[in-house]
Chains A and B, each alone.
Chain A
Amino acid sequence: MSLKLDPTLSIHRRLLILLLPPLTLLMVAGGFADYRASMVFMRTAYDQSLADAAFAQAGLIKVVDGKIDAPLPVQPSTRASREKFYYSVWGPDGALVSGNAQLAPPTGEGNPLYADAWLGEHRIRLVSYRMPTAAGVVTVNVAETTYRRDAARHFILTSTWLMDFILVDGTLLLVWIGVRYGLKPLWAVRDQIESRSPRELRPLDTAAVPAEVRPLVDALNGLFEVLREAARAQRQFVADAAHQLRTPIAGLVAHLELLTQDPAAARLGDRLASLRDGMSRVAHSANQLLALARAEPSANLADKFEITDLVPLVRRVIERHVDRSVKAQLDLGADLKAASVEGSAWLIEDLLGNLVDNALHYTPAGGHITVRCGADESAAYLEIEDDGPGIPEGERGRVRQRFYRLPGSQGHGCGLGLAIVEEISRLHRASVTIDSGAGGHGTKIRVQFPAVKTLFQGKTATAVTA
């Protein structure tokens, strides 16, 4: 027999499916066998006493001068309430000698011969005993109604079923409890994993892990170790790369800035300006690449996420960009309402910094940029709206991709800004939507964070979704 179960079925269910139906069948079959055995014993006992009555009756028969004398016994039914006894004695010629004429001898083998029959409206059990006498074979029939037998059968049936019922239910309960408790260490491991933040790479506790699950947990811990090491290596690389890239870039940017102010370099004119422009593009790209490398999940797994108040964070980011907005003749403003998220303040600053940077870059002079934050229930959002040229609907998916730039777009962008936003949002389980601004003009980008409490009470959250 091959039993195919869905391999994704829980072990708990699998054990119950494999154990409960066969156990139930087994116990029902056992109950049925008990019942049958009891019935056989009961019938044999009753039949025996019926046969004894027939033998006693036969003992009373005398043959006097070839004439058969068969006196009828006294009805013993005075004590049994409903039970009735019937007698009949038949001669060798098949004629009734005495007793009830309706009680005819049954056909069949055996002596005594037992049979079930009907007498009028009564069901009866009949025993027929053929006794040889001097006058030939005399047949003695004794029968009784089956009330006692029926009552006994009912009793046996009821008690067997009751026992069976208790046994089956008890077994089911024991199996269920046993499976449940037997799998408890497995649930403990599951809880240990579930209650962790997805960024946490600390090894799992193996102290209370059953032998079967131990290799699995060990393998997981090995994997965590590899990830930890990879994350550490990536962070180290990003930090080293940052230093190696930024220091010379800083020197070059600073020197070029000085050169453009130097009257002696005035004759270089446009060439110096484009050199400075190119250098600032290199600086920007290096910053963006480093930001993206930092934001990648592999680099940030060990980063601690904390409850972060968005209002001061947004203030900091806007303050940093005020000078640029003044230079670009843009009105950069804010509409801030209390909101907090669980996350890395630094990464969210990167995220918003990129959004503000984009808005400042693409909104023409005289435009308005508004950064908003707030919370619906406990789910915080960040929003930035500008009245610039906007992003065509068909491009809103693609602008999130790395290095993608809108066709015909100008300036220093390297196409990583929104990719960084996307990456950091993903780390924070936030969703990014790109829309048109008020009145269908400009761009409105909204970063919707999950409610803070679902991140915190990991167990509750999974209980709800499970």
Chain B
Amino acid sequence: MRILLVEDNDLVADAIARGLGLAGFAVDRAASAEHAASALAAEHFDLAVVDIGLPGEDGLTFVRRLRSQGETLPVLILTARETVALRVEALDLGADDFLMKPFEQSELAARCRALIRRANLHTNGQLNFGRVRIDVAGRQLHIDEKPVELTGREWLVLECLALSAGRVVSKERLQQTIARWDQAMTPNAVEVYVSRVRAKLADAALIRTVRGLGYRLDEPEA
């Protein structure tokens, strides 16, 4: 998977490039919006990581220009300045995620993976999650490329969690998702289905319970 890193500070760019490289990404660097634009025009990338404070055209303007040109490439914004307005603006004009400096390399890599995963889901209806492959279009779960059978309700639970992989999904949302299928659904029933899906995923993926908040689908801990 190929990432275009648009960052003018060498110290930061070098570290990010190495870190993402270690995490299994191929990283190309651009020090300005102009360089990034020509790189994008010439080659294919799966994701762009863009710093806001660029010399010349700033990161936000660059993203706005990309989107106005119909570019659907997922974009993660990096910034050292934090204001609510900036975050809202960045997401409004088409950035897909927003990360404050300084950050942990693992956090950046996880966000990049999540964004690429989501983009892939859009293009081919597949969600790859470590050893788990979820074929959303074909309603099929694969673990280590072997199909695993799920009941209808179990599938709805997994699909809902997978579409927000890495983020907490509230019990209420799961309940509503399943309730469309089966009107008489109680919060306890949600727990039952979650634990069934959990059992079927075994050690290939982890459904973490965040007390009082909901569930989160994670890759298994190393």
Contacts and interface: CB of A to CB of B under 8 A. Distances in A.
A333 B213 contact: yes
B11 interface: yes
A132 to B, nearest CB: 117
Contact of B11 (A242, A251, A344): A251
Interface stretch (B79-87, B120-128, B155-163, B190-198): B79-87
A444 B192 CA distance: 33
Contact of B15 (A254, A331, A370): A254
A245 to B, nearest CB: 8
A250 B18 contact: no
Interface string A299-330: 00000000000000001001100110010000
B40 interface: no
A246 B105 contact: no
Contact of A333 (B12, B167, B211): B211
Contacts of B80: 242-243, 245-247, 250
B9 interface: yes
Contact of B168 (A261, A322, A344, A370): A322
A191 interface: no
A258 B107 CA distance: 13
A121 B98 CA distance: 111
B216 interface: yes
Nearest to A286: B102
Nearest to B106: A257
Contacts of A315: 168, 170, 213
A334 interface: yes
Contacts of B101: 246-247, 249-250
B73 to A, nearest CB: 23
Nearest to A315: B213
A268 interface: no
Q: How large is the interface on A (under 10, 10 to 19, 20 to 34, 35 or more residues)?
A: 20 to 34
Given A239-B83, A247-B53, A251-B15, A257 B104 contact: yes
A258 B18 contact: yes
A254 B16 contact: yes
Q: Which one of B15, B103, B107 has the highest number of Cβ atoms from chain A below 10 Å of its Cβ?
A: B15
Contacts, number: 97
B192 to A, nearest CB: 20
Contacts of B170: 315
Contact of B14 (A248, A255, A336): A255
A274 B201 CA distance: 39
Interface in B132-176: 167-168, 170
A257 B109 CA distance: 13
Among A254, A257, A334, the one with the most B-chain Cβ atoms within 10 Å of its Cβ is A254
Contact of A249 (B22, B102, B216): B102
B114 to A, nearest CB: 13
B214 to A, nearest CB: 9
A355 B116 CA distance: 33
B70 interface: no
Majority secondary structure, A binding face: helix
A333 B212 CA distance: 6
A258 B53 contact: no
A239 B210 CA distance: 34
A319 B19 contact: no
Contact of A243 (B22, B81, B104, B212): B81
Interface string A405-423: 0000000000000000000
Interface string B183-222: 0000000000000000000000000101111001000010
Contacts of B211: 331-334, 370
B11 A322 contact: no
B83 A252 contact: no
Interface string A240-273: 0011011111111111011001000000000000
B202 to A, nearest CB: 19
Contact of A322 (B9, B12, B18, B210): B210
A257 B100 CA distance: 17
A251 B19 contact: no
A76 to B, nearest CB: 105
B15 A242 contact: no
Contacts of B100: 246
A254 B12 contact: yes
Contacts of B107: 323
Interface string A197-217: 000000000000000000000
B31 to A, nearest CB: 14
A346 B53 contact: no
A334 B212 CA distance: 5
B83 A251 contact: no
A246 B22 contact: no
24 contacts: A243-B53, A247-B9, A247-B11, A247-B53, A247-B101, A250-B15, A250-B80, A250-B102, A251-B11, A252-B11, A253-B103, A254-B15, A254-B19, A254-B105, A258-B22, A261-B22, A318-B168, A318-B210, A322-B210, A331-B211, A333-B211, A333-B212, A334-B210, A345-B84
Interface of A: 239, 242-243, 245-255, 257-258, 261, 283, 315, 318-319, 322-323, 326, 331-336, 344-346, 370
Given A246-B100, A254-B102, 20 more contacts: A243-B80, A246-B102, A247-B9, A248-B11, A250-B101, A252-B11, A254-B103, A254-B105, A257-B104, A258-B19, A258-B22, A318-B210, A319-B210, A322-B208, A332-B210, A333-B210, A334-B212, A336-B212, A336-B213, A345-B84
Ordered nearest first, which 8 A-B pairs have the shortest CB separation?
A333-B211, A251-B11, A254-B15, A250-B101, A250-B102, A246-B80, A334-B212, A346-B84
